[in-house]
Amino acid sequence: MRLLRTAVSTLLLALVCATATACSGPSVVFVDEEASYTLDEIGLLPDALTRPAFEGRPTDDAAQLRREALVELRGEGAGAAELAEFITRSLPTQTRAVPYYGEAALVDDEPVWIVVELWGSEGGTLDRTRTWVFDRATGEIIYSSSGQ
C-alpha cells in the first residue's frame, strides 16, 4: 500500500511539474494600433514592457520556446500571423532568442514591424533584450539594439 501511495504521489508531482512548465512557456504580446514612434522611443520600449515568464530559462531551451512563441503569435489574428511568418522567414531559426513582443507601427510615417526578444549567450540564460525594427514593405532592418 505504501508503495502504491508513493507511486501515485510521484505521478501527481510529475503531472504538476509538467503543467507548471507548460504554463511558463511563451506569452507573446502583439499590438496592432499603428502607433507612431521615433527611433529614440523604440529604444526605450524594452524597459516599458513586462518581461515574459521564460526569462532566465537556459538558452538551450530557446529553439523550443521560439517555436511555441511563433505558434502562439500565429493564433493572435491576421496581423500577428503575418509578423510570425516574417520572423520565420527573416530571422535565423537556429538562434538563442525568443520573441515576446511584436507590433505593427509607424516610424517616420512608414509602416514597420517592431520585435522585442529575449536572448542569451551560449550556455547561459535568456536574460538580455534585443529590439528590431523592420520596414514592413521591404523587410529591411531599420533599427536594432541590445540591452539588459
The answer to the question of residue 115 being in a domain is: yes
**Cα separation of 38 and 49, whole Å?**
17
**Cα separation of 134 and 113, whole Å?**
5
CA 105 centroid distance within chain = 18
The answer to the question of residue 109 being in a domain is: yes
Contact 115, 100 (CB under 8 A): no
Q: Which grid coordinates are listed for 28? A: 507573446
The answer to the question of residue 92 being in a domain is: yes
What digits encode the pLDDT tens for the residues 80-128?
999 999 999 988 777 899 999 999 999 989 999 999 999 999 999 999 9
Helix (H) or strand (E) holding 130: strand 128-135
User: To 10 degrees, what angle do helices 78-90 and 62-74 make?
Assistant: 150
Which residues lie closer than 8 Å to 65 by C-beta, 6 or more apart? 25, 26, 54, 57, 98, 126
The answer to the question of residue 4 being in a domain is: no
As for how many domains the chain has, the answer is 1
**Cα separation of 98 and 118, whole Å?**
5
Phi, psi (deg, nearest 5) at residue 143: -160, 145
Question: What range defines the domain where residue 87 resides?
Answer: 26-147
Q: Provide mean pLDDT across the span 118-141.
A: 95
The reported pLDDT for the residue numbered 15 is 35
Best CA proximity match to 82, nearest among 145, 10, 134: 134
Q: Which grid coordinates are listed for 3? A: 508503495
Q: pTM for the full model?
A: 0.81
Confidence label for 21 from pLDDT (cuts 50, 70 and 90):
very low
The answer to the question of residue 77 being in a domain is: yes
- Type of residue numbered 31: V
Contact 27, 80 (CB under 8 A): no
The answer to the question of residue 20 being in a domain is: no
Confidence label for 24 from pLDDT (cuts 50, 70 and 90):
low
The answer to the question of residue 17 being in a domain is: no
